[in-house]
Amino acid sequence: MATPGNEIQIGPQGRLVVPAALRRKLGLHPGERLLIRVKDGALILEPRQVVERRLRERFRKVDPHVSLVDALITERRAEAAREEIPGEGAG
């Protein structure tokens, strides 16, 4: 159940207004970009810098000289090669 001050309404054009008290608490300013996603049936709005900080922390141990794309392609090719059954061709 909602408590006073935390319920908002979707406007006719799908717009949401973040209450001033929450904007102040989070340090949000007009024009600031938020990222939105769905998690477990809930809308999650996060300031872009919060998401960037979380991603930097998650990938901080990744060697900057290693291409994650190349590593993924190599891994997928190896998986595909393991899945091939000798003697069975297409057709």
pLDDT in tens, the chain (91 residues): 445 657 899 999 999 999 999 999 989 999 999 999 999 999 999 998 889 889 888 888 877 787 888 888 999 999 998 887 666 555 5
CA 53-10-16 angle, to 5 degrees, is: 35
Number of domains within the chain: 1
Predicted local distance difference test score (pLDDT) of residue 1: 47
Predicted local distance difference test score (pLDDT) of residue 85: 66
**Is 13 within a domain?**
no
Structural domain boundaries enclosing 56: 20-83
CA 74-76-80 angle, to 5 degrees, is: 115
Predicted local distance difference test score (pLDDT) of residue 12: 93
| 23: helix, strand or coil | helix
Q: Got the DSSP string for 40-77?
A: TTEEEEEEHHHHHHHHHHHTTTS-TTS-HHHHHHHHHH
What CATH code is carried by the domain that includes residue 54? 2.10.260.10
**Is 59 within a domain?**
yes
Predicted local distance difference test score (pLDDT) of residue 35: 93
Predicted local distance difference test score (pLDDT) of residue 3: 53
Q: Which residue carries 């909602």 as its tokens?
A: 2
Torsion sign across C-alpha atoms 15, 21, 26, 30: positive
